[in-house]
Every structure is written in structure tokens, then in C-alpha cells.
């Protein structure tokens, strides 16, 4: 499997990685979820090279994860906002942050806490079954081929072991 061919794989993880699968893209998305919208803000907060940032923003815009809209006309200045497709990445980002909080945070604890605005409590995301509501854990899930499967390229349990 070649990196530049991930978007054509019969695997949802590979296709997703073709859009968000590098460190700068994930950090740009983190900033979006924290409210960053303008190029200069991304650049300052991430301390990222301008050409790298421009490339990641372009890729996310072309993938319809972000949209651009003008906030000033002379000179023209644009800001980036999460689309529905982009906002749907929030559970992914929250899960990554929780993993980092658990395994990568220092002795002082996590750098950010997520507060659920409606109830005011610090919260963690919990993945639950859409049918019964029970928490989903790795040992309670099996996979089967879906309508978009191409058996030759799918990593099924018979071919791989974790």
C-alpha cells in the first residue's frame, strides 16, 4: 500500500488517513476545534512554516473538511471554518486527546479539560453502541464485510492479528 494511493483503498481507515493522516493536519484540526480560524493565528499558535500550513489548509479545504470565507475585502483576507464533515471529526480528536491525557500527560495531569456546557461538568467522550447504548470495547466488537468491501485489500481478522 503506497501513501499516495490511500484514498483508493477499500478501507475507511486508509481513506481517512489520506485526508488527516499527518501530524500537521491533526494539529491544524486541533486548532480549529479550539476556535482558531485565521492563517496568521494558525501560524502563530503552531509555529509552522507558512508553506506547510498553506498546504494543509488547502488539502482540508479541498476535502471539504474546512471552508474558506472572506472576513475582509481590501486586502482580501479569508478565514477557515469547520464544515459538517470537519465537525464530525470531533469525536476522533477528543478520543486522541483522551489517549494523550492518559498515556502522554506529565505528572501535573492533562493540559486541557473538556467541560460539557449544558451540565457544566468535566467530561470524557465515551463510545457507545448505537443500538443498546452499552460502552464499546475492543473485545466486544467483531467485523464483517460491508457493501463497499473488496476482499483482496481488507485487513480482516483472518489475515491479521493484533
**What digits encode the pLDDT tens for the residues 131-150?**
999 999 999 999 888 887 76
Q: What is the CATH number of the domain that holds 16?
A: 1.10.10.10
Residues forming beta bridges with residue 117, ordered by sequence position = none
> Is residue 9 included in any domain, yes or no?
yes
pLDDT for 125: 87
Maximum distance among all Cα pairs of the chain, rounded to whole angstroms: 60
pLDDT for 14: 82
Lowest mean pLDDT among 23-27, 32-36, 55-59, 152-156: 152-156
Number of domains in the chain: 1
Q: pLDDT-derived band of residue 156, with 50, 70 and 90 as boundaries?
A: low
> Is residue 160 included in any domain, yes or no?
no
Indicate the pTM of the whole model.
Answer: 0.84
> Is residue 30 included in any domain, yes or no?
yes
> Is residue 26 included in any domain, yes or no?
yes
**What digits encode the pLDDT tens for the residues 101-123?**
999 998 999 999 999 999 999 99
Domain containing residue 41: 3-88
**What digits encode the pLDDT tens for the residues 40-72?**
999 999 999 999 999 999 999 999 999 999 998
> Is residue 155 included in any domain, yes or no?
no
C-alpha to C-alpha distances, 46 to 23, 28, 100, 149, 154, nearest whole angstrom: 11, 8, 18, 38, 36
Helix H or strand E segment including 92: helix 90-103
Our CA angle for 54, 57, 62, nearest 5°, is 120
Which one has a higher pLDDT value, 126 or 7? 126
Amino acid at each position: 500500500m503506497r501513501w499516495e494511493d490511500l484514498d483508493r483503498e477499500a478501507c475507511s481507515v486508509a481513506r481517512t488517513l489520506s485526508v488527516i493522516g499527518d501530524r500537521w493536519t491533526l494539529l491544524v484540526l486541533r486548532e480549529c476545534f479550539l476556535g482558531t480560524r485565521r492563517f496568521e493565528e494558525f501560524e502563530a499558535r503552531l509555529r509552522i512554516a507558512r508553506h506547510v500550513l498553506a498546504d494543509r489548509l488547502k488539502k482540508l479545504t479541498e476535502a471539504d473538511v474546512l471552508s474558506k470565507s472572506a472576513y475582509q475585502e481590501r486586502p482580501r483576507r479569508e478565514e477557515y471554518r469547520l464544515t459538517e464533515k470537519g465537525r464530525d471529526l470531533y469525536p476522533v480528536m477528543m478520543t486522541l486527546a483522551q489517549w494523550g491525557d492518559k498515556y502522554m500527560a506529565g505528572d501535573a495531569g492533562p493540559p486541557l479539560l473538556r467541560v460539557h456546557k449544558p451540565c457544566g461538568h468535566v467530561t470524557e467522550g465515551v463510545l457507545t453502541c448505537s443500538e443498546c447504548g452499552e460502552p464499546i470495547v475492543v473485545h466486544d466488537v467483531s467485523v464483517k464485510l460491508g457493501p463497499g468491501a473488496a476482499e483482496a485489500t481488507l485487513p480482516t481478522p483472518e489475515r491479521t492479528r493484533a
